Amino acid sequence: MNTQDMTTRIATGQGFIAALDQSGGSTPKALRGYGVDDSEWSGDEEMFAQIHAMRARVITAPCFASGKVIGAILFEKTMDGMVDGVSTGDALKARGIVPFIKVDEGLADEADGVQLMKPMVKLAALLAKSVAAGMFGTKMRSVIKAANPAGIAAIVAQQFEVGQQIIAAGLMPIIEPEYDITAADRAEGEAILLAEIVKHLGALPEGQQVMLKLSIPATDGLYAPLVSHPKVLRVVALSGGFSTDEACARLSRNPGMIASFSRGLLQDLRKQQSDEEFNAVLGKAIDQIASASV
């Protein structure tokens, strides 16, 4: 797939984007959930080898190429790895799946009810590397915990500022200001968030687009103006701690948003499953998430 093919696939594809981007801090927990005990690896390299083996098994499962997964977000080390003898990005594209790369370097301490992204000192080098690896786009996460107008304005401004650097590098940014679903004032704060995003979309130069990854809103249909906005390629939803069933039920009440789930996709997979069992469990999750997305 070339860039135009990938743009069309993301813009019009009937399916969802898989989040396979757990990084260093969340990897041990993800491995335990997969049935890999801490005693089975020692040090970062062995840990990342274990998680890459899990992701490679997901990517090569027959159901993953069913057409219902239209994109996948990778961690840098997953992008660097090989699947079936080719780069991970090429393995995905061979299955009709558009590859993205996680580029943020974690969260700063909370201030004004939000956690901005830490300074992204490796961004320029990672963007160049990602272009060379055939990635289509990027993803970067920050978190909103309260309906603080100053904090929300700062978080959206930072996301769009970095987004401009990503666009300049030739990649499609997924802007992800996650709203903590446990926040008591979430409905109020999401209205502020919507207004800030619309403001920044209006300031984007003609011909530029971004993607948005947002918590499923407390008010059904809140983000409809973003779904139809000409400067938004696609709006995707994170599960944010909801159970898979609840996340899918809520997502289905927000037409135009598609899923970008991690835990909901992978939570029932185990290293000890036979390939047939693994494919059946993964296929069931894919079917449920895809159905909620379309």
| Cα gap 73→258, rounded to integer Å | 14
- For 47-50, the CB contacts below 8 A with 24+ separation are 48/77
252 burial (CB, 10 Å; 0-12 / 13-18 / 19+) is middle
Structure tokens at 144: 């909103």
Q: Catalytic positions, please?
A: 176, 213
DSSP label at 3? H
DSSP string, 69-94: EEEEEE-HHHHHSEETTEEHHHHHHH
* Residue 234 neighbours by CB under 8 Å, 6+ apart: 10, 11, 211, 212, 258
Report d(CA 160, CA 122) in Å as an integer: 18
H or E segment and range at residue 48: helix 43-60
Q: Which of 282, 292, 290, 274 is nearest to 62 (CA)?
A: 282
